[in-house]
Structure formats: structure tokens, C-alpha cells
């Protein structure tokens, strides 16, 4: 029996690290995880992770040919194979993750952030197959972005291209605090957390009844706001409208930089479908320079949200192998 060619996709989060063996079509042949938070030392963490990966490969009972390791991590730097000053991680400073991995394997190890991984995943397995110029926006707790130009992920000179969640959309000292230390960043408005903050702002400003008034800020989440909006709750509806409008305004700006064929929305908020897509599309078109109007597609990601991080991470290796003509 032929060996199955796979790559290992690894999604490093502050709590868990999930990995899977992914074939070229995006099928996950096996998946498991370890607790990131258990390991104070990155060297010990990588050794434990590598061992678990090898054990999981054996357990499949199939002959897997592993072609490389793709890693998505917050503040992952694709040029250097490092994680740099991540928040919410047990490790501080600059962690040379690819180098630590290289003590265990001679196969390619590629590190990048989640949004870049999602962009390459969309190109390799998802809706951007065959597209040369597109952008993926990830809408989770924060907002990430990955730019593909001429069929290649944009890395940037320092490996940190595509951090538009931290562009200032509302300048001025009175605007929302961002975790990055500044004010008015896009992700303080357009993200699951931004949506919650907008709900509170609207409840402060309006007198409308709302089922959301029963919940504390800590209890509230974007699924509750989505369900309230589906039931016609005026506060929830206005919050989605406002969030989509801010997103659309910014997307017009994104288009003027790299003129993509399509923009894909990925993650929890994107699942709210027309509640987010309609205002986003409307405000994007209104704010586009005339030469771009009615040309740029605004699409939902075709990666399944559940496995997207592992798929995205694995896609980096396929993309790299194919660029090398392998």
C-alpha cells in the first residue's frame, strides 16, 4: 500500500495546541492536542508536542509520509520562524519555534500567524482556489488579515504583513482602548469583542427594550447577540449594522491598497451571514473609488470553522512545496 502524503498542521493557542495530519485535498486523517499552558519552557513544550504527533501518527494504523510541519500561532513571524512577544502565552519575548522544532526533524517547519494561515488555507483548500489576488479577514476575538498578491502570501519585510486589525479607524483620544495600547483600532469595533462593546454602547445610548439588557458584559457573547438579532432585537440588529458598516468602510481602504479580486470573511462573526455581509458590502461599495466599484467579491470563507486553523497551518507546507516545484 502506498504511503499517504500528509503534512502536520499545528494551531497553537494560549490554552491548547491542536494538530492534525492533512492530505492535499484538505482531509484531516487524524487529530489530537496538548495543553500549551502546561509548559513553561518552549523547548519542553516542543518535545512533548513532537512526541504526541509521532504517537498519533502511529495510532492511525496507516503509513503516513509526513512532508512538513505548518504552524499557526499568534504573532508568528514567517520570515524568521519565530513567535514574537505573544500575548496570552506561557512564554515571553521572541521564541525561535522553527529552530526548536529543527532539533527533532529535518523536514520543513513553517510558522506564521493564524490569519496568514487562513489565507493560504483558502487558496489551497477553499474558495480562493485559482485566485491570484485576494484578502482573508478573520473575525474572532480580534481581527486578523492575510494578503495574497500574485498567488503568494505577502510576508512583508519583517514578516508581519497583514495586521489591519490594528489600523486606527477612529482617531482621537476618546475612542476605544485596544489591547495593543492604542485607541480606536479596527478590531475594537469589528470582532466578536467589538460587537459586544458596541452592544453596550447602544444600550447606553438608546431606550429600546432588549433581551441583551439582562446580561452582564462578561456573560454576553457574539452567539447570544446573533440569536437576539435573529429574533428581531433592535439593539442586536443595530450592533450588527454598525459592525458591518465599520468593516465595509475599512474594506474599501483595503481594496485601494492591493486591489484584490475577492475578500473572504472567516470566523465566528462571518457565520452571522447577511447580518454582517449586507452592511459590510453596502458600506464597502459606498466608500470605494469608482474604478473599483461592483468588482470586488465579498465572500464567506469555504474553510470549515471547526478545522480551519489546522487546515490553514497545514496549507503553508503544501503551498511552499508547490512553489518549489515539488
The minimum distance between CB 289 and its own copies, in angstroms, equals: 4
**Strand intervals (E) in the chain:** 4-12, 16-22, 28-35, 64-72, 76-77, 82-84, 94-95, 109-112, 134-139, 143-149, 152-153, 262-266, 297-300
Rounded CA-CA distance 317/245 in Å is: 36
Rounded CA-CA distance 108/7 in Å is: 10
Neighbours of 175 (CB within 10 A): 16
Nearest residue (CB) to its own copies, 207 versus 289: 289
Q: How many CA atoms lie within 13 A of 268 on its CB side?
A: 18
Q: Are strands 262-266 and 297-300 parallel, antiparallel or unpaired?
A: parallel
Considering only 61, 93, 130, 181, the residue that binds its own copies (CB under 8 A) is: 181
Binding track over 285-324 against its own copies, x by CB under 8 A: --x-xxxx--xx----------------------------
Binding track over 217-246 against its own copies, x by CB under 8 A: ------------------------------
**Looking at 204-212, 214-222, 223-231, 259-267, which segment touches its own copies (CB under 8 A)?**
259-267
Considering only 46, 229, 252, 303, the residue that binds its own copies (CB under 8 A) is: 252
Please tell me whether residue 91 binds its own copies under the rule CB under 8 A: no
Considering only 2, 40, 150, 294, the residue that binds its own copies (CB under 8 A) is: 150
Nearest residue (CB) to its own copies, 142 versus 312: 142
Chain CA centroid to CA 204, Å: 31
- Terminus-to-terminus CA distance in the chain, angstroms? 22
Considering only 102, 168, 200, 271, the residue that binds its own copies (CB under 8 A) is: 168
Considering only 180, 200, 203, 321, the residue that binds its own copies (CB under 8 A) is: 180
- Integer-rounded Cα Rg, in Å, for the chain is 20
Count of residues interacting with its own copies (CB under 8 A): 45
Please tell me whether residue 94 binds its own copies under the rule CB under 8 A: no
Residues 7-66 touching its own copies, rule: CB under 8 A, are none
Closest CA to 169 of 251, 237, 113, 239: 251
The minimum distance between CB 30 and its own copies, in angstroms, equals: 35
Nearest residue (CB) to its own copies, 207 versus 291: 291
C-alpha distances out from residue 127 to 89, 302, 303, 318, Å: 32, 5, 8, 16
Task: Give the binding site for its own copies (CB under 8 A).
Answer: 75, 84-85, 132-134, 147, 149-150, 152, 154-164, 166-168, 171, 180-182, 249, 252-254, 256-261, 287, 289-292, 295-296
Amino acid at each position: 500500500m502506498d504511503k499517504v502524503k500528509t503534512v502536520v498542521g499545528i494551531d497553537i493557542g494560549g490554552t491548547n495546541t491542536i494538530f492534525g495530519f492533512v492530505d492535499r485535498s484538505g482531509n484531516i486523517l487524524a487529530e489530537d492536542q496538548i495543553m500549551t499552558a502546561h509548559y513553561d519552557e518552549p523547548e519542553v513544550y516542543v518535545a512533548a508536542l513532537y512526541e504526541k504527533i509521532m504517537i498519533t501518527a502511529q495510532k492511525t494504523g496507516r503509513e503516513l509520509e509526513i512532508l512538513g510541519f505548518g504552524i499557526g500561532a499568534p504573532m508568528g513571524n514567517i520570515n524568521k520562524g519565530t513567535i514574537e512577544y505573544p500575548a496570552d502565552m506561557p512564554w515571553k519575548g521572541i521564541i525561535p519555534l522553527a529552530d526548536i522544532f529543527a532539533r527533532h526533524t529535518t523536514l520543513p517547519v513553517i510558522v506564521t500567524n493564524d490569519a496568514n494561515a487562513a489565507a493560504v488555507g483558502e487558496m489551497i483548500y477553499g474558495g480562493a482556489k485559482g485566485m491570484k489576488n485576494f484578502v482573508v479577514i478573520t473575525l474572532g476575538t480580534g481581527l486578523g488579515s492575510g494578503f495574497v498578491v500574485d498567488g503568494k502570501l505577502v510576508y512583508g519585510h519583517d514578516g508581519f504583513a497583514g495586521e489591519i486589525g490594528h489600523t486606527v479607524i477612529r482617531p482621537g483620544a476618546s475612542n476605544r482602548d485596544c489591547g495593543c495600547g492604542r485607541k480606536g483600532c479596527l478590531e475594537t469595533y469589528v470582532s466578536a469583542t467589538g460587537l459586544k462593546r458596541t452592544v453596550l454602547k447602544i444600550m447606553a445610548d438608546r431606550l429600546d427594550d432588549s433581551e441583551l439588557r439582562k446580561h452582564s458584559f462578561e456573560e454576553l457573547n457574539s452567539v447570544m447577540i446573533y440569536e437576539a438579532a435573529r429574533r428581531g432585537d433592535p439593539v442586536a440588529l443595530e450592533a450588527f449594522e454598525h459592525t458591518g458598516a465599520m468593516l465595509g468602510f475599512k474594506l474599501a481602504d483595503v481594496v485601494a491598497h492591493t486591489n484584490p479580486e475577492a475578500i473572504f470573511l472567516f470566523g465566528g462573526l462571518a457565520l452571522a451571514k447577511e447580518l454582517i455581509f449586507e452592511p459590510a458590502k453596502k458600506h464597502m461599495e459606498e466608500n470605494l473609488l469608482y474604478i473599483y466599484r461592483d468588482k470586488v467579491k465579498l465572500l464567506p470563507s469555504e474553510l470549515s470553522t471547526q478545522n480551519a486553523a489546522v487546515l490553514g497551518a497545514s496549507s503553508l507546507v503544501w503551498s511552499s512545496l508547490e512553489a518549489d516545484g515539488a
